[in-house]
Amino acid sequence: MQIKGPTLFINPETAKKNILKMLTKARKHQAHLRPHFKTHQSAEIAEWFKEEGVTKCAVSSVQMAQYFANAGWNDITIAFPFNILEIEAVNKLAEKIDLNLCIESKEVASFLLKNINSKVGVFLKIDAGYHRTGLDASNYDLIEEILKVITNGNKLSFKGFLQHAGHTYQAKSKAEVEEIHQYTSSQMRKLKAHFINEYPDLIISNGDTPTCSICQDFEEVDEIRPGNFVFYDVMQANIGSCSYEDIAVALACPVVAKHPERNEIIIYGGAIHFSKDSIIDATEQKIFGLVASNEKQNKWGTPIDGVYLKKLSQEHGTIHAPQQFIDEVKIGDILYCLPIHSCLTTNLMSAYLTTEGKHISMFRYNAGI
Amino acid sequence: MQIKGPTLFINPETAKKNILKMLTKARKHQAHLRPHFKTHQSAEIAEWFKEEGVTKCAVSSVQMAQYFANAGWNDITIAFPFNILEIEAVNKLAEKIDLNLCIESKEVASFLLKNINSKVGVFLKIDAGYHRTGLDASNYDLIEEILKVITNGNKLSFKGFLQHAGHTYQAKSKAEVEEIHQYTSSQMRKLKAHFINEYPDLIISNGDTPTCSICQDFEEVDEIRPGNFVFYDVMQANIGSCSYEDIAVALACPVVAKHPERNEIIIYGGAIHFSKDSIIDATEQKIFGLVASNEKQNKWGTPIDGVYLKKLSQEHGTIHAPQQFIDEVKIGDILYCLPIHSCLTTNLMSAYLTTEGKHISMFRYNAGI
């Protein structure tokens, strides 16, 4: 089919391979895979997980939970600090499915206890080193206090401790990811050891794509919640979580102008398609995406040496390329660009086209309701 | 009304004031205002321009042109290098409205001449210093060659020279914007002087919010195309294009967690709501947004000293705040955040709520068609 504007292509083969690989790894380590669906946000892509036997998922908002509940998912963790303003929607959802919430303060625990109508699972959000949200992993007294609130009554069922080592996304090497993983895991193991006698069913839930992709030691980890791995992206390849061949999405963009005098090509594809995320590559160059080779039938290959997105404005993408590439490219050609951060690019594009030309729709956040 | 999640508020009073101010300035300088609608992307907000007598607009994509044509706009410039893959849609649109396209190469001019069915206006995109796209403003020979192509036949009507000084967005001061404007304007004036005898109806079309807001010398400028000014944002306030009071949109975000030990508040509002654009403020701090004071009835005031968005992940926003502010804020409170770049935030949110609680819808790009 003829692409006319920026189009997000997905290679189902690659995505399904990524799913199976992560699932196999989880099983090998006796950990349940509860994939985070905020990366693909699509009921149809979620089916690819179901086909492999995945029955639980994590999402990042109440609305996203509603979307996947309507798509038949009945065991969902909202892996985001519970937003007390959404208690009404949470109560409705908790009537229908097994819903898990994350809390990280006594205040929110008390609110939930007072206002929840149906039984919900509760994870305590633990900060094991990332320092974004969560309870200090070593603050046993506060954790104990909050557990007393949660277990007071029969509506809230304590599930365990949930952590996200998001600082692995800034890691420069596999070794650095490994180091972060060792530290956060030891924190979580100590925490589990401290509370396991009192709460024998508690689980440890870990989740971030770099550690789940790179590390091999998951002792005492009962559940993993990676999300990005289904598609991966340039940032993950840069960290070492995947190879370029594992990247399952590419943004197809038309060439609209050429400026050989400064080694630049302008594509129709900008910040409103890619997002503004960038990485600093090995040559200290800030890049917003890589350009992969064109293969047959809307498929792409690996990145072309020296061809990268150097600048993004709202709809314009500026690609740096060597002379030879610029000479070969024609205005009207389609370039397949590998995104830096597939979660944000997918969210912006809000629809997929498979390499077979099939449309795949996704969730849309409904603002102001 | 009760906000439950990230919601983009618009203050119509402020936006209408910004529109009237820019229109008055354009008239004072005998320049036509052709506002760029890529900032608000809304047929309803476009009506606020119409009410003041604006009849022309600029857009950044063919689909956006279709959207505003359907909303009754019949004089539209697509201020983006003509994408030859969209010739079919362009031909359809050109039958209905007065459509202007931008071209910057002989190749595209020839393609257009061969493939266009109805009469369209053509602007030559000129690079007067930004170096993103456009023909070198001093390359008279090449410009002459392309003009020969365009004026060969009666389908393409040459309108004039169009330039965008996008580098003013990186300016650190009004003086720097003024300097850029002086240079690009002199380039455009020379260009006009060179071709005016041969093409007596050609116009100069300039467009970027900083120069149109800050500068006073528009000699020989026949048309201005600013877009961002309708809302402005923190970036524009930082450059000096506006005051904080002129910012017409704010993202209302619920507080979901507090971390006084590190002077941080976590809001439900992240990269998929704000976009990842940032500025370096006067204190060398990278900021992703400012937090304004809460006023009555979904209105906000000016930024609160020392309270800013320091980090964004997909749904989390990390706000840095002084102890006193953190003590006063409660979980479940709504914070009104002023965006760094309102064009990108608006595009992500894709709907508005007015300070009177009225919904305003907007254009949505339809990928893969």
Query: Domain for residue B8, yes or no?
Result: no
Q: What is the pLDDT of residue A153?
A: 83
pLDDT digits (tens, 9 = 90+) for B50-97: 999 999 999 999 999 999 999 999 999 999 999 999 999 999 999 999
Of the partner residues B166, B313, B367, the one whose CB lies closest to the CB of residue A132: B313
Of the partner residues A6, A105, A276, the one whose CB lies closest to the CB of residue B277: A276
Residues A226 and A305 in one domain: no
Contact B344 A314 (CB under 8 A): yes
Number of helical H runs and strand E runs in chain B: 12, 20
Residues A112 and A223 in one domain: yes
Tokens found for residue A194: 């401290």
Sign of the CA dihedral running A66, A67, A70, A73: negative
Cβ-based contacts of A365 with chain B (< 8 Å)? 5-6, 272
Of the partner residues A6, A81, A347, the one whose CB lies closest to the CB of residue B272: A347
Contact B276 A82 (CB under 8 A): no
Question: Residue B20: pLDDT above 90?
Answer: yes
Contacting residues for B5 by C-beta, under 8 A, at least 6 apart: A61, A62, A63, A83, A85, A86, A365, A367, A369, B254, B268
Contact A351 B365 (CB under 8 A): no
State which residues form the domain around B345: 244-361
Q: For residues A115 and A82, is the Cβ–Cβ distance under 8 A?
A: no
Of the partner residues B85, B166, B254, the one whose CB lies closest to the CB of residue A4: B85
Q: What is the pLDDT of residue B283?
A: 87
Q: For residues B162 and B125, is the Cβ–Cβ distance under 8 A?
A: yes
Question: Residue B324: pLDDT above 90?
Answer: yes
Q: What is the pLDDT of residue B1?
A: 67
Q: From CA B262, how far away is CA B320, in angstroms rounded? A: 8
Residues A258 and A317 in one domain: yes
Q: What is the pLDDT of residue B294?
A: 93
Residues A103 and A143 in one domain: yes
Taking one residue from A and the other from B, the number of pairs with CB-CB distance under 8 angstroms is 173
Cβ-based contacts of A109 with chain B (< 8 Å)? none
Residues A227 and A80 in one domain: yes
pLDDT digits (tens, 9 = 90+) for B195-207: 999 999 999 999 8
Q: Among residues A200, A231, A262, which one ends one of the domains? A: A231
Residues A71 and A173 in one domain: yes
Of the partner residues B81, B89, B268, the one whose CB lies closest to the CB of residue A266: B81
Cβ-based contacts of A5 with chain B (< 8 Å)? 61-63, 83, 85-86, 365, 367, 369
Best mutation target among A2, A60, A61, A83 (most B Cβ atoms within 10 Å) is: A83
Residues B106 and B147 in one domain: yes
Q: From CA B240, how far away is CA A197, in angstroms rounded? A: 61
Contact A314 B60 (CB under 8 A): yes
Q: For residues B367 and A350, is the Cβ–Cβ distance under 8 A?
A: yes
Residues A49 and A132 in one domain: yes
Q: What is the pLDDT of residue A367?
A: 80
Cβ-based contacts of B83 with chain A (< 8 Å)? 4-5, 254, 256, 268, 332
Best mutation target among B331, B333, B349 (most A Cβ atoms within 10 Å) is: B331
Query: Domain for residue A9, yes or no?
Result: no
Of the partner residues A85, A353, A365, the one whose CB lies closest to the CB of residue B254: A85
Of the partner residues B166, B276, B359, the one whose CB lies closest to the CB of residue A313: B166
Contact B266 A132 (CB under 8 A): yes
Q: What is the pLDDT of residue A170?
A: 87
Contact B133 A275 (CB under 8 A): no
Contact A84 B131 (CB under 8 A): no
Q: Among residues B182, B198, B231, which one ends one of the domains? A: B231
CATH number for the domain that contains residue A39: 3.20.20.10
Q: What is the pLDDT of residue B51?
A: 98
Residue with the larger pLDDT of the pair A243 and B152: A243
Residues B308 and B255 in one domain: yes
Contacting residues for A291 by C-beta, under 8 A, at least 6 apart: A303, A304, A307, A308, A309, A319, A321, A335, A336, A337, A338
CA distances from A177 to A38, A39, A173, B133, B175 (A): 22, 21, 7, 40, 46
Of the partner residues B104, B268, B353, the one whose CB lies closest to the CB of residue A83: B268
User: Percent of chain B having pLDDT more than 70?
Assistant: 99
Phi, psi of B203 (to 5 degrees): -120, 160
- Structural domains in chain A (count): 2
Residues A221 and A94 in one domain: yes
| ipTM, interface predicted TM-score of the complex | 0.96
Q: Find the residue in A nearest to B106 (Cα).
A: A257
Query: Domain for residue B239, yes or no?
Result: no
Rounded to the nearest angstrom, the minimum Cα separation between B89 and chain A is 10
- B352 in the Ramachandran plot: left (φ > 0), alpha (ψ -120 to 50) or beta? beta
Question: Residue B41: pLDDT above 70?
Answer: yes
Q: Among residues B231, B264, B290, which one ends one of the domains? A: B231
Of the partner residues A83, A86, A275, the one whose CB lies closest to the CB of residue B276: A275
Q: For residues B245 and B303, is the Cβ–Cβ distance under 8 A?
A: no
Cβ-based contacts of A132 with chain B (< 8 Å)? 266, 311, 313, 316, 318
Query: Domain for residue B333, yes or no?
Result: yes
What are the helix (H) ranges across A10-85?
12-28, 43-50, 62-70
Q: From CA B169, how far away is CA A245, in angstroms rounded? A: 37
Cβ-based contacts of A266 with chain B (< 8 Å)? 81, 132-133
Q: For residues B356 and B52, is the Cβ–Cβ distance under 8 A?
A: no
Give this prediction's pTM: 0.96
Is B81 strand, coil or helix? Answer: strand
* DSSP 8-state class, residue B305: E
Q: What is the pLDDT of residue A165?
A: 87
Query: Dihedral angle at the C-alpha atoms of A300, A304, A307, A313, nearest 10 degrees?
Result: 20
* DSSP 8-state class, residue B153: S
Q: Determine the straight-line distance between the first and last CA of chain B, rounded to whole angstroms.
A: 37
Query: Domain for residue B108, yes or no?
Result: yes
Rounded to the nearest angstrom, the minimum Cα separation between A265 and chain B is 9
Residues A87 and A214 in one domain: yes
Query: Domain for residue B47, yes or no?
Result: yes
Question: Residue B336: pLDDT above 80?
Answer: yes
Q: Find the residue in B nearest to A349 (Cα).
A: B367
Of the partner residues A8, A81, A272, the one whose CB lies closest to the CB of residue B344: A272
Cβ-based contacts of B5 with chain A (< 8 Å)? 61-63, 83, 85-86, 365, 367, 369
Question: Residue B259: pLDDT above 60?
Answer: yes
pLDDT digits (tens, 9 = 90+) for B107-135: 999 999 999 999 999 999 999 888 889 99
Cβ-based contacts of B257 with chain A (< 8 Å)? 81, 104-105, 133
Cβ-based contacts of A369 with chain B (< 8 Å)? 4-5
Where chain A has pLDDT below 70, the residues are: 1, 368-369
Best mutation target among B1, B2, B4, B102 (most A Cβ atoms within 10 Å) is: B4
Residues A219 and A325 in one domain: no
Q: For residues A123 and A82, is the Cβ–Cβ distance under 8 A?
A: no
Query: Domain for residue A3, yes or no?
Result: no
Packed helices B106-115 and B140-150: angle between N→C axes, nearest 10 degrees: 10
Contact B257 A369 (CB under 8 A): no
Question: Residue B369: pLDDT above 80?
Answer: no
CATH number for the domain that contains residue B357: 2.40.37.20
CA distances from B97 to A177, A194, B23, B364 (A): 57, 72, 23, 21
Q: For residues A42 and A284, is the Cβ–Cβ distance under 8 A?
A: no
Name residue A218's amino acid. Answer: F
Is B225 strand, coil or helix? Answer: coil
Mean confidence (pLDDT) of chain B: 96
Cβ-based contacts of B276 with chain A (< 8 Å)? 275-277, 344
Query: Domain for residue B83, yes or no?
Result: yes
Contact B275 A276 (CB under 8 A): yes
Q: From CA B124, how far away is CA B101, in angstroms rounded? A: 9
